[in-house]
Homo-oligomer: A and B are copies of this chain.
Amino acid sequence: MKSQKISEAVVRRLPIYLRFLNELAMKNIMTVSSQDLGHKLDLNPAQIRKDLAYFGEFGKKGIGYDVAYLIEKIRQILKLDRQLQVALVGAGNLGRALCNYNTYLRNDMKIVAVFDAMPQKTGETINNLTVQPMSEMKETLARLGVRIGIITVPAAEAQNVANQFVEAGIEAILNFAPVIIKVPGEVRVHHADFTTELQSLAYYLD
């Protein structure tokens, strides 16, 4: 049961479960059923039970899931039970906006370093962070133990930044630039591209 490979679809739903469970916890709700979850999140209850069952037996038959316990378990699964350090490259509008989400990321993750290739940007302050030049990246990431990188530079520079991330030992990248970037197999890349997202929405207009 441990050595099954978990599909990407499952992994993408876990943070959604986690977020809703946190809401329940804040309302002092102690227990939740897969049916409740499914109803709120527009998902099939069987799917939710199956997703969770990949990782263990977290529920009680006839009762449901203990909210606090399930939160703890999902945080462990997602490796959010320690604080993960994140670096961001590209101190433009989008980069600045994301840095302000630090509060949202709570204790799970934290953007701890910001870089930009343009000399006129370095030295600027964003949310208590000083924008550093690219030349300092490798050393800073090693020192701070950064494992995750965010790319918010223009499309033309994204691949270059990705290469530097890989060189600096980054293990996972979230790319906001509207271009597919290539990295070695051991590095994980997710694309978060707002323009393609909007364009696919347009398809559903009548």
B-chain residues with CB within 8 Å of residue A206 when the two chains form the complex: 171
User: What count of chain A residues pass the 8 Å CB interface test?
Assistant: 56
A40 to B181, CA, bound (A): 10
Q: Does residue A192 face the partner (Cβ distance < 8 Å to B)? A: yes
In the complex, the count of this chain's copies comes to: 2
A202 to B86, CA, bound (A): 10
Binds B, one of A13-21, A27-35, A45-53: A13-21
Binds B, one of A56-64, A75-83, A135-143: A75-83
B84 and A202 contact, CB distance less than 8 A: yes
B201 and A174 contact, CB distance less than 8 A: yes
B-chain residues with CB within 8 Å of residue A199 when the two chains form the complex: 14-15, 18, 78, 80, 108-109
A42 to B188, CA, bound (A): 14
Interface residues of A in 92-134 (CB under 8 A from B): 92-94, 96-98, 100-101, 104-105, 108-109
Q: Does residue A148 face the partner (Cβ distance < 8 Å to B)? A: yes
Q: Does residue A73 face the partner (Cβ distance < 8 Å to B)? A: no
B-chain residues with CB within 8 Å of residue A84 when the two chains form the complex: 202, 205
Closest chain B residue to A104 by CB distance?
A: B195
Question: Which of B148, B150, B205 touches A147 (beta carbons < 8 Å)?
Answer: B205
- Whether A97 touches B101, Cβ cut-off 8 Å, given contacts A148-B202, A195-B15, is no
A residues near B, CB below 8 A? 11-12, 14-16, 18-20, 40-42, 77-80, 84, 86, 92-94, 96-98, 100-101, 104-105, 108-109, 147-148, 150, 171-174, 178-180, 182, 188, 190, 192, 194-206
